[in-house]
Amino acid sequence: MKIFAFIPARYDSSRFPGKPLALISGKPMIQHTYERALSCPELSAVFVATDDDRIAGCVNQFGGKAVITAKTHRSGTDRIGEAALKMGLQDDDLVVNIQGDQPSFHPSVVTDLVKPLIDDRAIPMSTLKYKIRDKRDIQNPNHVKVVTDREGFAIYFSRCSIPFCRDGRPDSVYYKHLGFYCFRMDFLMRFTSLAEGTLERLEKLEQLRALEHGYRIKVIETIHDSIEVDVPEDVEAIEKLLETL
């Protein structure tokens, strides 16, 4: 069993066209993310899965590995499914999905992410959560929230603030979902063959497809937040953060 990371990257983002190529401290964002992935000791190789020649050219220019995929994919996970198949991964290999718009992630989150699938072969898929400290994030629809059962498996993901605290208790706890996933290769192929779910379509959250079709997702709490670049205004904040790392 080997562990491979794929970074899905598309050019045509509605909120931030060309986002993977946006310069952050003089370096394309996709390069920041790629280089951080290379520092994760569990990974055998890192690839960028993209449908755009401009992104592939950028990756090749800085010495990375790019895989060209179709333009018709519903989600980043569907895109890396095609890329992983092209690279000839084995059924028992693990596939890590690292979002290209998280250029400041801490490498240890990948350690947290893959451990459940290494320890328990019955788990098909895992992801991460982070305890929300800033209350503004609870109502922010760009920060997806997650609730889990007592064994740490996902009950639901939403852009809304879940759970809803009817009595407004000051000690209520909310968890932000971090967009990292780990799949067994055989389950990734199954996932990408599933029909799009109603909840997935409404919330625009690909992980809901697994829940709607009855599959379990192990959710691991990490102590490290990962800041996303959603709109051009986020670039300045990321540059300041990277100066402290």
Q: What 8-state DSSP symbol labels residue 181?
A: E
Q: Range of 210's domain?
A: 3-244
Residue 107: the pLDDT is 93
Compute the distance between CA of residue 38 and CA of residue 33 in angstroms, rounded to an integer: 9
CB atoms closer than 10 angstroms to residue 60: 12
Compute the distance between CA of residue 43 and CA of residue 105 in angstroms, rounded to an integer: 15
User: Could you tell me whether strands 94-98 and 175-184 are parallel, antiparallel, or unpaired per DSSP bridges?
Assistant: antiparallel
Residue 75: the pLDDT is 92
Return the CATH number at 128: 3.90.550.10
How distant, in Å, are the alpha carbons of 69, 82, 90, 142 from that of 203? 25, 24, 32, 11
- 163 residue type, one letter: P
**Residue whose tokens read 């490498």:** 107
> Contact 40/33 with Cβ under 8 angstroms?
no
**Residue 6: beta bridge partners?**
47, 97
Residue 115: the pLDDT is 97
CB atoms closer than 10 angstroms to residue 187: 17
Residue 94: the pLDDT is 98
Q: Which of 207, 180, 226, 177 is nearest to 74 (CA)?
A: 207
Residue 68: the pLDDT is 96
The count of residues in the chain is 245
Domain count of the fold of the chain: 1
Quote the distance between the C-alpha of residue 166 and its chain's center.
31
E strand map for the chain: 3-9, 23-24, 27-28, 45-50, 66-68, 94-98, 125-131, 145-148, 154-158, 175-184, 218-221
- 9 residue type, one letter: A
Please calculate the CA angle 27-110-133 and round it to the nearest 5 degrees: 85
pLDDT 10s per residue in the chain (245 long)? 999 999 999 988 767 888 899 999 889 999 999 999 999 999 999 999 999 999 999 999 999 999 999 999 989 999 999 999 999 999 999 999 999 888 999 999 999 999 999 999 999 999 999 999 998 899 999 899 999 999 999 999 999 999 998 887 777 899 999 999 999 999 999 999 999 999 999 999 999 999 999 999 999 999 999 888 877 878 888 888 877 76
> Contact 10/80 with Cβ under 8 angstroms?
no
Quote the distance between the C-alpha of residue 204 and its chain's center.
14
**Residue whose tokens read 């706890």:** 173
Residue 239: the pLDDT is 85
Compute the distance between CA of residue 67 and CA of residue 83 in angstroms, rounded to an integer: 6
